[in-house]
Structure 1
Amino acid sequence: MLNPVHVRTLSEVLAAGSLSEAAQRLGYTASAVSQQISALERATGLVLFERGARAIHPTRAAVVLGERCGQVLDQLSALEREVRALAAGEQGLVRVGTFPTAGKTLVPWALARFVQQQPHAEVSLEEGEPDELLPQLLSDTLDIALVYTYELVPRTFPGQLTADELVREPLRVLLPPAHPAREAGSVRLADLADATWISSREETAGARSLALLCANAGFAPRIAFRSNDYGAVAELVAAGLGVALVPELAVENGTFALPLAGEGTARHVLAVHRTANPNPLLPPVREALTRAASAATR
Structure 2
Amino acid sequence: MPSCGSRSAWISKRPVAPLTWSGYSRRHQENSQAMLNPVHLHTLSVVLRTGSFADAAREIGYTGSAVSQQVAALERAVQAPLVERDAQSIRPTEAAKFLASRAHDIIHALSALEDDMRGFSKGDYGLMRLGAFSTASQRLLPGGLASYLRRHPNSSVELEESGPAELAAMIRDSALDVAVVYHYDLVPQKWPANVVAVPLLAEDLVLLLPGNHRLAGAETITVQDLAEESWVSTKEDSSGDACVRHLCAGAGFQPRVAVRSNNYDAIRGMVRSGLGIALVPSLDHVPTDTVIATSISGCTARRYVSALRHKTQAGVSITSFLQCLGRAADKLAASHTGIVRQTKQPEAMVPMGYLAGLRAS
Give the alignment's TM-score, normalised by structure 1.
Answer: 0.95
Tell me the distance in 1 between the aligned counterparts of 2:236 and 2:210.
Answer: 22
In the TM superposition, what are the counterparts of 1:96-135 in structure 2 within 5 Å? 96-135=130-169
Q: What displacement does 1:143 show?
A: 1.0
Match among 310, 313, 334 for residue 274 of structure 1: 310
Structure 1 counterpart of 2:157, which letter?
V
Structure 1 counterpart of 2:234, which letter?
S
The share of aligned pairs that are identical, in percent, is: 42
Match among 270, 283, 294 for residue 258 of structure 1: 294
Structure 2 counterpart of 1:172, which letter?
V
Verify: 1:291 aligned to 2:327, yes or no. yes
Q: Which residue of 2 aligns with 1:151?
A: 185
2:287 and 2:293 in contact (8 A); partners too: no
Verify: 1:169 aligned to 2:203, yes or no. yes
Q: What displacement does 1:233 show?
A: 0.2
Structure 1 counterpart of 2:133, which letter?
F
Q: What displacement does 1:185 show?
A: 4.4
Where structure 1 has 5 or more consecutive residues not aligned to the other structure, the ranges are none
Structure 1 counterpart of 2:218, which letter?
A
In the TM superposition, what are the counterparts of 1:218-237 in structure 2 within 5 Å? 218-237=252-271
Q: Which residue of 2 aligns with 1:36?
A: 70
Structure 1 counterpart of 2:254, which letter?
A
Tell me the distance in 2 between the aligned counterparts of 1:154 and 1:212.
Answer: 12
Verify: 1:72 aligned to 2:80, yes or no. no
Give the alignment's TM-score, normalised by structure 2.
Answer: 0.79
Q: Which residue of 2 aligns with 1:46?
A: 80
Assess, with a 3 A threshold, how the Cα gap between structure 1 residues 122 and 40 changes in structure 2: closer, same or farther: same
Instruction: Count matched residues.
Output: 298
Q: What displacement does 1:164 show?
A: 0.9
Where structure 2 has 5 or more consecutive residues not aligned to the other structure, the ranges are 1-34, 335-361
Tell me the distance in 1 between the aligned counterparts of 2:36 and 2:172.
Answer: 40
Tell me the distance in 2 between the aligned counterparts of 1:138 and 1:62.
Answer: 55
Assess, with a 3 A threshold, how the Cα gap between structure 1 residues 253 and 117 changes in structure 2: closer, same or farther: farther
Q: What displacement does 1:67 show?
A: 1.0
Structure 1 counterpart of 2:241, which letter?
A
2:233 and 2:241 in contact (8 A); partners too: yes
SS in 2 for 1:132: helix
Q: Which residue of 2 aligns with 1:140?
A: 174
Q: Which residue of 1 aligns with 2:251?
A: 217
Structure 2 counterpart of 1:76, which letter?
L
CA offsets 1:230-262 (integer angstroms, 9 cap, x no match): 010001001111001111111113353212211
Q: What displacement does 1:278 show?
A: 5.0
Quote the RMSD (CA, aligned, Å): 1.5
Verify: 1:9 aligned to 2:11, yes or no. no
Tell me the distance in 1 between the aligned counterparts of 2:44 and 2:102.
Answer: 11
Tell me the distance in 2 between the aligned counterparts of 1:273 and 1:186.
Answer: 41
